[in-house]
Amino acid sequence: MPSNVVLVTGVAGDLGGKLLARLGTNSAFERVIGVDTAPPPKDVLQRMGKAEFVRADIRNPLIAKVISSAGVDTVVHTACLAHPAGPSRRSAVKELNVIGTMRLLAACQSSPKVRKLVVKSTAAVYGAGARSQAVFTEDSELIPASSSGYAKDAVEMEGYVRGLARRRPDITVTLARFANIIGPEVDTVLSRYFALPVVPTVFGYDARLQLLHASDALGVLEQAVLQDKPGVFNVASDGVLGLSQAIRRAGRVGLPMPSAVVPSVGKVLRGARVVDFSADQVRLLNFGRVVDITKLKTEFGYQPRFTTREAFDDYTAGRGLRPVFDGARLASLAGKVFVAAATGQAGR
């Protein structure tokens, strides 16, 4: 049964805003509504077609009135934050992730017209550690890296989604666990991290990173709205990049440091409002995380356009990142040093 009236949450964010614009220009939908506490970016407002923005807070029970009065039959929840890029109040983010999701799902349950729910989650629910699986499947145990971080919110949120699916088996539920999203226009922890001139790393570790290009994240959400794709799906690009490889490809300089020093560095970066370098992120950059996307390709029917390497290269090119040090100048300097050293040896 096709979707007619679609509601998208979190449209002030990059992914939610672009999805609103994409759906708003699709004639297949009768109505497309975007909700958030702040309006979408100006570029989204200029190209969102027939889509409309409603200022509403999903943490408020009034979201149920928005859904029922508009006759919404499809809800796309992109408002859950896996990890804010910059410093933010943890309590406010947790309230949005957990309380907001509870209110939204309660509204979906009480509305008989809702027949489809698409939820953006995160692969961070699998955690990252020395004993983690080499590759996570959708059936892997959910073990967030910490008991109070953003990934823990996502685990709770997924529990509420499963509860709704049991109570309303008539609703088609699609839950997408996204790998770290990256792209030229995306503001994330990793996009800020790899833009640092000197990139702090933990001595002795070289994590395997699996990324997801923003356009593929958007494509998966759009396809879940256009077609019925029930189930849980890992969403990521093919291939992996070693952390040291990524740093070199971005033209940055890696700075290995003892693990005991990293928390202090993280506090400095947060204090300078550069990047929210939390304990969850440190564990990811220590141990990495790779997910299996066979189910995404075979059951969901989506083949990512970008590999992890291509997604990362598109990010570096789009951001205009240039090598911190000029290779030609370094080679020239090294040559001069070599000549000087050789001359000195010959003169002895």
**Confidence at residue 210, expressed as pLDDT on a 0 to 100 scale:** 98
Question: Is residue 223 a contact partner of residue 74, using CB atoms and an 8 Å limit?
Answer: no
Please give the Cα distance from 1 to 115 (Å, whole number): 9
Collapsed DSSP state (helix, strand, coil) of residue 254: strand
Instruction: Please list the pLDDT of the chain residue by residue as tens digits (348 residues).
Output: 678 999 999 999 999 999 999 999 999 999 999 999 999 999 999 999 999 999 999 999 999 999 999 999 999 999 876 555 555 555 677 888 899 999 999 999 999 999 999 999 999 999 998 889 999 999 999 987 666 678 888 999 999 999 999 999 999 999 999 999 999 998 888 899 999 898 988 889 999 999 999 999 999 999 999 999 999 999 999 999 999 999 999 999 998 988 888 777 777 766 656 676 677 778 888 999 999 999 999 999 999 999 999 999 999 999 988 887 654 444 454 455 445 555 655 555
Question: Is residue 286 a contact partner of residue 207, using CB atoms and an 8 Å limit?
Answer: yes
Shortest CA distance to 241 belongs to which of 302, 289, 274, 296? 289
Domain residue ranges of the chain, discontinuous segments joined by +: 5-319
**Confidence at residue 338, expressed as pLDDT on a 0 to 100 scale:** 47
**Confidence at residue 341, expressed as pLDDT on a 0 to 100 scale:** 53
- 251 to 244, 255, 323: CA distances (angstroms): 11, 13, 4
**Confidence at residue 245, expressed as pLDDT on a 0 to 100 scale:** 97
Please give the Cα distance from 143 to 128 (Å, whole number): 8
Please give the Cα distance from 195 to 86 (Å, whole number): 14
CA 33 remoteness from chain centre: 22
HSE-up of residue 28 (Cα within 13 Å, Cβ side):
12
Helix, strand, coil abundance in the chain, percent, nearest 5: 45, 20, 40
**What are 206's two structure tokens?**
């070289």
**What are 329's two structure tokens?**
């100048």
Shortest CA distance to 283 belongs to which of 143, 121, 175, 96? 143
Specify the pairing of strand 198-202 against strand 253-257: parallel
Enumerate residues 6+ apart whose C-beta is below 8 A from 287.
128, 129, 130, 132, 205, 207
- 55 to 7, 59, 65, 161: CA distances (angstroms): 12, 12, 13, 24
Full-model pTM: 0.89
Please give the backbone phi and psi of residue 175, each rounded to the nearest 5 degrees, phi first: -120, 115
Please give the backbone phi and psi of residue 44, each rounded to the nearest 5 degrees, phi first: -75, -45
The class level of CATH for 5-319 reads: alpha beta
**Confidence at residue 330, expressed as pLDDT on a 0 to 100 scale:** 43
Q: Look-up: residue for tokens 């990010």?
A: 315
**Confidence at residue 333, expressed as pLDDT on a 0 to 100 scale:** 47
